[in-house]
Structure 1
Amino acid sequence: MSDDYSNRSYGEIPVGFGDKPGIVVVDFQVGFTDPQYPLGGAPLVMRAVENTARLLEVARRYDVPVASCYTSYMNEREMPYWKITAVRDTFRDDHPSIALDPRIHQPGYDVVVCKKGPSIFFQTGVADFFAKERVDTVIVTGCNTSGCIRASAIDAFSHRYRTIVPEDCVGDIEEGPHHDNLRDIGRRYVDVTNLETVLGQLETWRQRNAH
């Protein structure tokens, strides 16, 4: 395998974990997590839901800010030019597929936004929420890796957050695009890690900030 990227210094500098974490949960709506829907039930997504639920249980106990999103539109006129029939047909305000999966959603704790584009940060209040909470490190979870996760991670980078993507807390329809996109953003913008490492980082942060 060519190492031309590493020869040109890609991926040499780790992002690292900063002073205050926040978590984004991207599109874990039942349209992606319930097999009864046309986009639902991909094995990598189901794995990511279970792992993200474990992460969030710890994060909420430690008072880490959490922002979740779902994708929905009033009608096709409001939509961007999606090339995916199932998105056009089901991601509507009156369709049950837009509900957040209860395994990852805690009403009264999570900030929830409806997004209209791929990124959780695009024209939503998530960056403002994190600014108020003084977040400098964003942990990205959700689906799909090659689409909305990639877009959200790049926007987090563009907002100057340290950006961490646990591989087992994000998922896609196929393994190839999942791993290819993580490898690519890991060369440029983010630290790609795993659930256990992130849990360890949260524990270190909690101990450092204990009063």
Structure 2
Amino acid sequence: MSDDLAANYARAYGGKVGFGERPALILIDFCHGYFAEDCDLFAGVDAALASALRVREAAHGAGVPVILTNVVYHPGGVDGGRFYEKALPLRYFQRGNPMGAFAAGLEPRPEEIIVSKQYPSAFFGTSLASTLTAMGRDSVLLTGLTTSGCVRASCVDAMSHGFRTAVVADACGDRHPGPHEANLFDMNAKYADVISEAETIAYLASLPR
């Protein structure tokens, strides 16, 4: 990012959303396929998962709800619509395919909520917004894969549903640095605050229990 670009955007998009008082942590689509070198989904995003797991521990320690999302399709992908037709690697998310399982280290805990989806956003066609509202949550912390896909889509929808939205940059990943950085830049400009793992953990530690 050039200084000219940063200055240009700062003039128009220099605002901050800030943290909410009652957040929820969402871990988006950390599935095995992104870590399996023989899978089309492979993205080499081990550092993002490690960061997300640390944030997850901090969230549990702060009493903050943790929500995991995954993508699950009926055999043949009949419930995936045009998204399934367009994005060929989605075939790995047909129910029962081991590539669609949660990544090692992210085995769901009994108290965690799992939201299964068929489209990029964790909110589209799911009960997530209603669940967060019913739980009295006013904000979300987003982590996950991929930054340019399901994280971005979930970010836009979270903001559109009225939740203060923060994207944890260290805990998101993509198959190439270019789309990753470009989408973090754009989300930070228009939809959310892009923050570091350290900022996130410090915020969670500051919450009253």
Query: TM > 0.5 between the two?
Result: yes
- Bigger CA drift: 69-78 or 16-25? 69-78
Is residue 81 of structure 2 the alignment partner of residue 77 of structure 1? Answer: no
Shift of 1:78: 2.0
1:1-211 → structure 2 map (5 Å cutoff): 1-2=4-5, 3-7=7-11, 9-10=12-13, 12-40=14-42, 42-43=43-44, 45-74=45-74, 75-81=76-82, 82=84, 83-88=86-91, 90-205=92-207, 209-210=208-209
- How many angstroms apart in 2 are the aligned matches of 1:107 and 1:203? 21
Is the CA contact (8 Å cut-off) linking 1:17 and 1:162 kept in structure 2? yes
Shift of 1:70: 0.8
- How many angstroms apart in 2 are the aligned matches of 1:57 and 1:187? 28
- How many angstroms apart in 2 are the aligned matches of 1:154 and 1:68? 18
Is the CA contact (8 Å cut-off) linking 1:23 and 1:140 kept in structure 2? yes
Shift of 1:165: 0.6
Partner secondary structure for residue 107 of structure 1 = coil
Partner secondary structure for residue 113 of structure 1 = strand
CA deviations 1:134-164 (Å, max 9, x no partner) are 1111000000000100000001100111100
- How many angstroms apart in 2 are the aligned matches of 1:113 and 1:36? 27
Partner secondary structure for residue 117 of structure 1 = coil
Partner secondary structure for residue 118 of structure 1 = coil
TM-score for the superposition, normalised by structure 1: 0.90
Partner secondary structure for residue 165 of structure 1 = strand
- How many angstroms apart in 2 are the aligned matches of 1:84 and 1:69? 18
Paired residues, number:
202
Percent sequence identity is: 32
CA deviations 1:176-204 (Å, max 9, x no partner) are 00000110111011001110000000011
In structure 1, stretches of 5+ residues that fail to align are: none
- Bigger CA drift: 98-107 or 14-23? 98-107
Shift of 1:46: 1.5
Indicate the RMSD between aligned Cα atoms, in angstroms.
1.4
- Bigger CA drift: 97-106 or 109-118? 97-106
Partner secondary structure for residue 170 of structure 2 = helix
TM-score for the superposition, normalised by structure 2: 0.91
